[in-house]
A = this chain, B = another copy of it.
Amino acid sequence: MLRARDGSATISSRQLGDALGLTDAQVRKDLAHFGQFGQPGVGYRCIDLLERLRTIMGVDRPWPCVLVGAGNIGRALLAYRPFVHGGFEIKAVFERSRELVGTTIAGRKVRPIEDLARGVAAVNAEIGIVAVPAEAAPAIAAMLVGVRIRGILNFTPCRLDVPPSIPVRNVDVSVALEQLAFDISSMAAPDES
């Protein structure tokens, strides 16, 4: 893995391409899409490039999140360190189960789902994380849309039907496993491709 902390002051499009599995021309073209980057013959200054990329990606500022669902996935997220370090912070946790409401997980008190609107407003949450059983996901998505969340991270296998102005990203274990099964099957029969 390439790391800015390895100490080089600059990096070339060829080095970036090698690390990313792209040609140097593609790297230059992709970056040019976002404006003027780097200098011919010199490359990109690492610090500038990182800062520009963070701005382009929108990760140069905090993203307050709310989590709906305090089951196993929710607990894993609350304990997930890289998550917190990336500017994404779970500010409040909501749950339907009466057994979980009122308990404290990783320092956050679990609140009843009925508090969602108030909770989202109180912490200015922009991202809603859906970690509920699949059958509950459509109703939770509708609630999040209703309280003007800006984007949704969906851990359920259910595809959420929300307005196009609200982006959804799915983290789908089933799909990843099926891709892996396909990869392995392809390895086993290289002559059939």
Binding site for B on A (CB under 8 A): 1, 56-59, 63, 71-73, 75-77, 79-80, 82-83, 86-88, 126-127, 134, 150-153, 157, 159, 165, 167-171, 173-174, 176-188
Contacts and interface: CB of A to CB of B under 8 A. Distances in A.
Copies assembled: 2
A173 B173 contact: no
Given A71-B79, A72-B72, 5 more contacts: A1-B159, A58-B185, A71-B76, A82-B134, A88-B181
A83 B177 contact: yes
B150 A176 contact: no
Contacts of A126: 184
Contact of A184 (B77, B167, B171): B167
Given A57-B181, A174-B83, A165 B150 contact: no
A138 B28 CA distance: 32
Contacts of A187: 150, 165, 167
Contacts of A167: 180, 183-184, 187
A27 to B, nearest CB: 18
A82 B73 CA distance: 14
Given A58-B182, A63-B181, A134-B82, A173 B174 contact: no
B72 A174 contact: no
A80 B178 CA distance: 15
